[in-house]
Structure formats: C-alpha cells, structure tokens
C-alpha cells in the first residue's frame, strides 16, 4: 500500500520538501524501512545494520522535520533497493522466530510485528498530508464512492445523543495490540453530557467565520464571488457544505465550540460516546478534544520512551477517531493521536458537546 501511494510520483517529487512541518516523502519511505530494519532485522533477528550509520538520519526525534531534506538520506533506486532488502531480511527472520508462548514481551503475540505494521500504516496518513500539496497527484487506484464511508448520520434527528453519567472503562484492555499510551484500561467518572451526532460541517464553519471573522481552514480561498473554494493536489473545487470541516487547529476548534454555545469533549467523553454508539466517529476527520496528552494512571512505557512518553504534557492536545486518510488496520476507539494546538496539516475537525 505504501509503494502504491507513491507510485504516481517522480523521484523529484519524492525528494521535494513541500513544507517545513512535513518530511519529504523520500525520508518517510527510508524511515519506514529503517524502523523495520531496526526492530525486526537488528533487534529481533540479531543482524548487523545493513548500511552503517544510516539509522541516525532516520531517527524522528534527532531530526526535526524541517531538517530532513538536508540529510544524506537514500534517494531513487538506492532507496527502493534498501526497502526491498529490509523486507527480504524481515521475512527471513520471521521464519526463524517463535511468536506463540514467547517469554520476550516484544515477540509475545507478535507485538513487535504489529508495531511495525501500525507504524507503516500511520506513516501512510502522514504521507497523504503531504500529497495534498503535490500538483496533479492522481492515485494509482481509486475506490468507488460508497461502501462503508457512505454511512452517515448527518441530517438525522435528533442531532445530539445523551450520554448518561457514570463510570466508564477507558483505554485498551490486556488482549490484542495497542500502544503503551492506551493502557492500562481504567475507570473514569463522567457527568452526563450531550454530544453532536456528527462532526461540524463546512456550512457550520462558514457561518462561524462570517460571524466572528475567524480564519478559513488550510487550503481554502475565496472564489471571487464571495464563496469558498478548496485546493488539494493542484485541483480547485467549491467547498462542499455538507462535508465535515477539515484542517482546522485546536485553537479555532475551541473557539468554534464556544461560539456554538458548546465545548470540545474531553478525550474520555469522546471514548465513552464512541462505545455508546455515536455514529460517524471513524473514518471522516480526526476530532480535537480538550484533553492534554497525559499518561493514564499506571502507565508503563513500552517498548521505548520515544513513542509516547516524551510527548506527555500540556503542550500537546489529543485528537480522537480517525480520518478518511487513516488505514483500516490502525482504527480503534482507544487510539490517541496528538499534536500541537496550532497545527492544522493533519486531517483534523471538530465535534462539540454540551453539559446537561
Ligand atoms: Fe515514524
């Protein structure tokens, strides 16, 4: 899927830094391969690094996004053959390992394989953020409209859903794959609240902008006649009023909720509502919550501090759900995404709640 995503792109496009806050796609590709090599080939397989010091340039913490195009990263055919080489060795190692009943917590139930798969799938979404900026990108495959994404609750009555107060189980249980930050599962007491059945639409956002002078979402422009158009992948189209608003930041999302006489949900309210069945919480837009990204009580970093632990704190806000660009394999109600409150390159939208 990763290779199909970049299939329509030239090497020059893969090597272009389109934005200071997104990596050139060539870096993402090399990093996906290197992360797989690090964990599945070196750590699990006990093999020596394939390409000396290469790993240093693909360390996401050491190399901020704005610097990544200056690094001596792999490009072109070198990059493609490195990725192939990693996958070949990964499959060799996989033949040798024992996953069932392993004493090694990395191998138990295939955890580290799920981790590497989830990592690659999540990078596909980051890569799609950048693909928005590539002129005339034509996907190698298009899904016919319809299917599960047609499921929509927009326009359904009532427009809100009452969630009873009480203790709710939050977070992932022991079984199955989840990130360290989703665990341990614990009970959170919630007061009753009412949640919108659908995310805020473009029509709602336009009303908010007209009323308050708020900023348009990323990629929007005036069409000359007073309306709004949106440009993605070099194509400019009228803004579809009925679609969820996307590419708005946390600050604006909070302001919207206040303007609407509501507020953003906490991430716990969001998860409780997702379990209670407020529909259309998945596969449209990520939804900003009012919660800071913090460790759950009893949190243990696994398998390394740099996945979640170094990001805990009030500077990052939690987003919940998933977007149209999220791969199926990483969508779950307990998943916690996070970003800085001023960021809007992610496929981020808004859903409001109200106290009752
Ligand atoms: Fe990564």
Tens of pLDDT, residue by residue over 107-132, are 988 999 999 999 999 999 999 999 99
Q: Token pair of 288, please?
A: 């900003």
3-class secondary-structure state, position 353? strand
Distance from C-alpha of 242 to C-alpha of 160, rounded to nearest angstrom: 17
179 CA to centre of ligand 1 in angstroms: 14
156 CA to centre of ligand 1 in angstroms: 39
Higher per-residue pLDDT: 140 or 79: 79
15 CA to centre of own chain: 23
How many other β-carbons are positioned within 10 Å of the β-carbon of residue 199? 22
What was the pLDDT predicted at 145?
56
Alpha helices in the chain (DSSP H): 2-6, 11-14, 25-36, 76-96, 111-131, 202-212, 250-259, 267-276
> Is 227's pLDDT higher than 90?
yes
pLDDT in tens, 277-330: 977 788 899 999 999 999 999 999 999 888 899 999 999 999 999 999 999 999
60 CA to centre of ligand 1 in angstroms: 6
Per-residue confidence band for 262, with pLDDT thresholds at 50, 70 and 90: very high
The mean predicted confidence, pLDDT, of the chain is 93
83 CA to centre of ligand 1 in angstroms: 15
pLDDT in tens, 35-59: 999 999 999 999 999 998 899 999 9
What was the pLDDT predicted at 281?
85
> Is 143's pLDDT higher than 90?
no
201 CA to centre of ligand 1 in angstroms: 31
What was the pLDDT predicted at 180?
96
103 CA to centre of ligand 1 in angstroms: 27
Per-residue confidence band for 141, with pLDDT thresholds at 50, 70 and 90: confident
- Give CB contacts under 8 A, 24+ apart, made by 303-306: 303/105, 303/106, 303/111, 303/112, 303/115, 303/180, 306/60, 306/61
What was the pLDDT predicted at 151?
46
Distance from C-alpha of 123 to C-alpha of 126, rounded to nearest angstrom: 5
Distance from C-alpha of 53 to C-alpha of 49, rounded to nearest angstrom: 8
What was the pLDDT predicted at 282?
86
Tell me the whole-structure pTM to 2 decimals: 0.93
101 CA to centre of ligand 1 in angstroms: 28
58 CA to centre of ligand 1 in angstroms: 9
Do 11 and 76 contact (CB within 8 A), yes or no?
yes
Distance from C-alpha of 257 to C-alpha of 254, rounded to nearest angstrom: 5
What strands, in cross-sheet order, belong to the sheet with 160-163? 160-163, 193-196, 353-355
What was the pLDDT predicted at 347?
97
Q: Token pair of 206, please?
A: 């336009």
Given 3-state DSSP classes, what are the helix, strand and coil percentages for the chain, each rounded to the nearest 5?
Answer: 35, 15, 45
Q: Which of the 8 DSSP states describes residue 144?
A: P
> Is 154's pLDDT higher than 50?
yes
244 CA to centre of ligand 1 in angstroms: 28
Percent of the chain past pLDDT 90, that is, above it, reads: 85
What was the pLDDT predicted at 235?
92
Do 182 and 171 contact (CB within 8 A), yes or no?
yes
What was the pLDDT predicted at 36?
98
What was the pLDDT predicted at 176?
86
Which has the closest alpha carbon to 243: 226, 224, 228, 225? Answer: 228
The least confident of 114-128, 151-165, 335-349 is 151-165
Higher per-residue pLDDT: 146 or 342: 342
Q: What is the largest CA-CA distance in the chain?
A: 66
28 CA to centre of ligand 1 in angstroms: 8
> Is 96's pLDDT higher than 80?
yes
What was the pLDDT predicted at 278?
76
What was the pLDDT predicted at 148?
47
123 CA to centre of ligand 1 in angstroms: 6
> Is 149's pLDDT higher than 60?
no
Which has the closest alpha carbon to 84: 153, 150, 37, 48? Answer: 37
Distance from C-alpha of 283 to C-alpha of 304, rounded to nearest angstrom: 28
195 CA to centre of ligand 1 in angstroms: 33
Q: In the predicted model, what is the mean pLDDT of residues 215-236?
A: 94
68 CA to centre of ligand 1 in angstroms: 13
121 CA to centre of ligand 1 in angstroms: 10
Per-residue confidence band for 242, with pLDDT thresholds at 50, 70 and 90: very high
190 CA to centre of ligand 1 in angstroms: 34
Distance from C-alpha of 111 to C-alpha of 31, rounded to nearest angstrom: 20
N- to C-terminal Cα separation, the chain = 45
172 CA to centre of ligand 1 in angstroms: 22
116 CA to centre of ligand 1 in angstroms: 9
pLDDT in tens, 301-310: 999 888 899 9
């Amino acid at each position: 899927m990763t290779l199909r995503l970049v299939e329509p792109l030239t090497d020059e496009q893969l090597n272009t830094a389109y934005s200071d806050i997104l990596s050139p796609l060539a870096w993402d590709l090399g990093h996906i391969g290197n992360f797989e090599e690090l964990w599945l080939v070196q750590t699990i397989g006990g093999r020596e690094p394939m390409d000396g010091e290469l790993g240093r340039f693909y360390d996401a913490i050491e190399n901020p996004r704005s610097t990544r195009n200056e690094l001596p990263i792999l490009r072109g055919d070198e990059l493609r053959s490195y990725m192939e080489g990693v996958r070949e060795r990964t499959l060799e190692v996989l033949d040798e390992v024992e996953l069932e009943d392993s004493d090694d917590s990395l191998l138990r139930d295939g955890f580290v394989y799920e981790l590497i798969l989830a990592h690659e799938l999540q990078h596909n979404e980051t890569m799609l953020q950048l693909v928005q900026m590539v002129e005339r990108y034509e996907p190698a495959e298009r899904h016919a409209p319809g299917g599960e994404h047609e499921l929509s609750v927009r326009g359904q009555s009532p427009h809100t859903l009452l969630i009873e107060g009480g203790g709710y189980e939050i977070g992932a249980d022991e079984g199955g794959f989840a990130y360290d930050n989703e665990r341990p599962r614990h009970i959170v007491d919630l007061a009753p609240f009412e949640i919108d059945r659908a995310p805020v639409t473009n029509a709602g956002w336009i009303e908010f902008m007209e009323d308050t002078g708020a900023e348009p979402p990323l990629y929007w422009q005036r069409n000359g006649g007073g309306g709004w158009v949106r440009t993605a992948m070099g194509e400019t189209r009228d803004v579809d009023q009925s679609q969820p608003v996307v590419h708005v930041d946390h600050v604006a999302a909070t302001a919207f909720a206040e303007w609407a006489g509501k507020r953003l949900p906490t991430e716990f309210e969001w998860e409780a509502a997702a379990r209670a069945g407020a529909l259309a919480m998945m596969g449209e837009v990520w939804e900003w919550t009012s919660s800071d990204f913090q460790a759950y009580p009893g949190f243990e970093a696994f398998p390394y501090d740099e996945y979640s632990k170094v990001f805990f704190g009030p500077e990052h806000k939690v987003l919940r759900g998933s977007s149209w660009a999220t791969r199926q394999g990483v969508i779950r109600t307990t998943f916690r995404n996070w970003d800085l409150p001023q960021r809007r390159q992610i496929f981020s939208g808004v859903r409001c709640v109200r106290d009752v």
